[in-house]
Amino acid sequence: MASPESTTAPAPLSATKENTAPVSSKIVELNQSRTELLNRIQSLKEDLHNWRSKLDTQVKVYRDELSELKKTLNVEVEQLRTEFQDLRTTLQQQQEDVSASLRNLGVDEVSGNGEKVESKETKTEETDKEEEVLAKEDTVKITEN
């Protein structure tokens, strides 16, 4: 018995040429599509590179601006510290001057915690009064005996 393959005749030459024409056009079409895709990829790569470059530039500008703002802020903070220290010193000096003036006038001061602070003159006057009272008591005791 003969095999079925041997009974089949080879394809005619004209049919083979017809089959290669659509394949050739498909190959050309695929090559064109490939070229278009490669061009598009190249264009996207260039766009990405440009975008990154612009972004890097913008980031650098922002960093420089932030650095300048930070320097300016630090200078202003230091100036404020100096001004507050000067104010604190001035207020302390004024407080000392007022306290000294009050002591010179013999007026009692009130300390920062609300307690009454007596001047030296007031203390001396009270001590003198206490001594007088004691002396009078001694005189009364002597006269009673």
Model-level pTM? 0.44
Q: What is the Cα–Cα distance from 135 to 137, expressed in whole angstroms?
A: 5
Predicted local distance difference test score (pLDDT) of residue 22: 79
The DSSP code for 3 is: -
- The pLDDT tens digits for 76-131 are 999 999 999 999 999 999 999 999 999 888 865 455 555 555 555 566 677 777 77
Answer whether residue 11 shows pLDDT above 80. no
Numbers of helices and strands, H then E, in the chain: 3, 2
Q: What is the Cα–Cα distance from 105 to 99, expressed in whole angstroms?
A: 10
The β-bridge relationship of strands 116-117 and 109-110 is antiparallel
- The pLDDT tens digits for 19-70 are 667 788 899 999 999 999 999 999 999 999 999 999 999 999 999 999 999 9
Predicted local distance difference test score (pLDDT) of residue 93: 96
For 105, the token pair is 């006038």
What is the separation, in whole angstroms, between the first and last Cα of the chain?
Answer: 172
Q: How confident is the model at residue 8 (pLDDT cuts 50, 70, 90)?
A: low
Predicted local distance difference test score (pLDDT) of residue 131: 72
Looking at per-residue pLDDT, the higher value among 54 and 11 belongs to: 54
